[in-house]
């Protein structure tokens, strides 16, 4: 019998559990360790923050889902991983051993790296549903006394799409309320140019997003390094392309949402041979850690080198479809290892993304997500908004049902020539670098 443990019960962890389960032998056991018992659909958090969704619309009780699938579920969370001992210390003081481990913890939000940043400071976040709910409460107060808004992403951030989404969703909501004329808006980002997205752009995202911001009267500052935030004021250095200070801005605001940099969670940080200096898990082409080959990693916790040097540090996003490809490769490799065969499946790391603006949106396909690419396409239109609504409903039903990829999803992706697994398993990539 083999003990397989999935550490993390967010998007990557739940999907990993559902995909790994049918690959196991009868005698194997699967355990999922989560930080709490509730799954929430992170891509819908911008809608929560403006009241377009309620919390219960995007949450699922994983106790019930895992029980129906006969997956052991531990909701106490992890205190410390000991990869050399094949053991996890849990937050309740107990310990859990494993033969194979799949790390899907997601990140820790590094608000503390910028003074005054975050829900405990003076800005808001949509990275977690608790933060989104708090952002909605603050937005309601803001509506009674409108003023300047700042939205963006701090230095070291690696998730830029939701910042653009939220800025443009706010614009849509304020126009619907007929108070947009009372709200100057500024987009502040560490990206070297609008639409970089941590990916050096995808298709024409630079022109598409610049056009959206310009048409909606949203000013922007790129190559931005946030020095600190106080009540109602943000200090920002704007750098030149060669890293010199172009100017310093003192930006007033009545409401602000800034995405922070990510780092690895405390349970992993400092684990020699497992993680990089930021605490992200180093993996090879098969999603395995080179030092501890019985440890896999999927999702935001994976170390990926930046696409290139930038004046202000910019990380690489781990998008939903990219994570799904990591999950599928991991499940297939575990299937092989449990039966005495070598791992051979490599994730494509393709990206299919939908950024909703409330009355339209931008979609892009990057194959693979990291350039150079075989497919590099982006487009915008009202259709993106409706497709994202449909995807939210589909994905929530997928989690509630505890299902892996249904046949019709695979059929659609095949028709679009979008793959989760590389068709040439003989191609071996170098281990991923640092975020």
β-strand partners of 101 = 5, 295
Cβ 56 vs Cβ 41: under 8 Å: no
Q: Which two tokens stand for residue 374?
A: 């075989």
What's the number of CA atoms in the CB half-sphere (13 Å) around residue 419? Answer: 13
21 alpha carbon, distance to own chain's centre: 24
What are the CA-CA distances from residue 90 to residues 6, 64, 77 (Å)? 13, 21, 6
Give this prediction's pTM.
0.94
Residue 415: pLDDT band (50, 70, 90) is low
The helix/strand/coil state of 352 is strand
pLDDT > 80? residue 416: no
Q: Which two tokens stand for residue 292?
A: 């501890």
Whole-number Å distance between alpha carbons of 265 and 251: 32
Rounded average pLDDT over 284-308 = 97
164 alpha carbon, distance to own chain's centre: 14
β-strand partners of 3 = 29
β-strand partners of 356 = 361
pLDDT digits (tens, 9 = 90+) for 3-41: 999 999 999 999 999 999 999 999 999 999 999 999 999
Active site residue 353: yes
- Give residue for tokens 């992170």: 42
pLDDT score, position 432: 44
pLDDT digits (tens, 9 = 90+) for 164-202: 999 999 999 999 999 999 999 999 999 999 999 999 999
pLDDT > 50? residue 361: yes
pLDDT > 80? residue 405: no
Of the listed ranges 149-153, 290-294, 361-365, the least confidently predicted one is 361-365
pLDDT > 80? residue 411: no
Residue 431: pLDDT band (50, 70, 90) is very low
Residue 298: pLDDT band (50, 70, 90) is very high
pLDDT > 60? residue 265: yes
- Closest C-alpha to 371, from 195, 200, 191: 200
Q: Of the residues 127, 301, 336, 353, which is catalytic? A: 353
CA dihedral sign of residues 156, 371, 304, 124: positive
- Closest C-alpha to 7, from 293, 299, 326, 334: 299
* Higher pLDDT among residues 355 and 408, named by residue: 355
What's the number of CA atoms in the CB half-sphere (13 Å) around residue 306? Answer: 17
Q: Of the residues 127, 159, 301, 336, which is catalytic? A: 159
Helix/strand/coil (H/E/C) assignment for every residue in 375-414: EEEEEECHHHHHHHHHHHHHHHHHHHHCCCCCHHHHHHHH
């Amino acid at each position: 019998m083999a003990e397989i443990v999935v550490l993390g019960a967010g998007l990557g962890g739940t999907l990993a559990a559902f995909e790994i389960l049918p690959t196991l032998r009868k005698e194997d056991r699967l355990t999922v360790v989560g930080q709490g018992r509730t799954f929430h659909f992170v891509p819908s958090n911008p809608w929560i923050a403006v009241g377009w969704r309620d919390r219960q619309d995007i949450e699922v009780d994983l106790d019930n889902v895992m029980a129906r699938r006969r997956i052991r579920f531990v909701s106490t969370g992890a205190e410390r991983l000991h990869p050399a001992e094949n053991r996890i210390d849990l937050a309740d003081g107990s310990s859990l051993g494993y033969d194979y481990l799949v790390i899907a913890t997601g990140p820790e939000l590094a608000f503390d790296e910028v003074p005054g940043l975050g829900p405990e400071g003076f800005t808001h976040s949509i990275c977690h549903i608790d933060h989104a709910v708090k952002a909605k409460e603050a937005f309601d107060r803001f509506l009674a006394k409108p003023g300047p808004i700042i939205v963006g992403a701090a230095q070291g951030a690696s998730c830029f799409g939701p910042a653009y989404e939220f800025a443009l969703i706010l614009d849509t909501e304020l126009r619907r309320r007929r108070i947009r004329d009372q709200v100057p808006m500024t987009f502040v980002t560490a990206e070297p140019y609008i639409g970089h997205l941590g990916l050096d752009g995808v298709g024409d995202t630079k022109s598409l997003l610049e056009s959206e911001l310009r048409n909606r009267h949203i000013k922007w500052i790129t190559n931005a390094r946030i020095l600190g935030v106080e009540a109602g004021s943000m200090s920002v250095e704007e750098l030149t392309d060669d890293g010199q200070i172009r100017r310093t801005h003192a930006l007033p605001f009545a409401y602000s949402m800034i995405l922070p940099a990510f780092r690895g969670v405390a349970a992993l940080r400092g684990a020699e041979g497992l993680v990089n200096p930021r605490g992200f898990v180093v993996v090879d082409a098969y999603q395995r850690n080179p030092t501890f080959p019985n440890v896999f990693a999927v999702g935001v916790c994976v170390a990926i080198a930046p696409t290139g040097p930038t004046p202000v540090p910019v990380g690489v996003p781990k998008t939903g479809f990219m994570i799904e490809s990591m999950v599928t490769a991991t499940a297939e490799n575990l299937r092989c290892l449990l039966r005495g065969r070598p791992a051979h499946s490599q994730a494509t790391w393709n990206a299919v993304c939908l950024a909703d603006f409330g009355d339209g949106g931008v979609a892009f396909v990057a194959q693979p997500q990291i350039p150079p690419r075989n497919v590099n396409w982006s487009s915008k239109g009202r259709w993106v908004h409706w497709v994202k609504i449909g995807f939210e409903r589909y994905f929530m039903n997928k989690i509630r049902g505890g299902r892996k990829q249904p046949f019709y999803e695979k059929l659609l992706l095949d028709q679009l020539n979008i793959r989760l697994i590389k068709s040439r398993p003989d191609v071996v990539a170098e281990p991923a670098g640092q975020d």
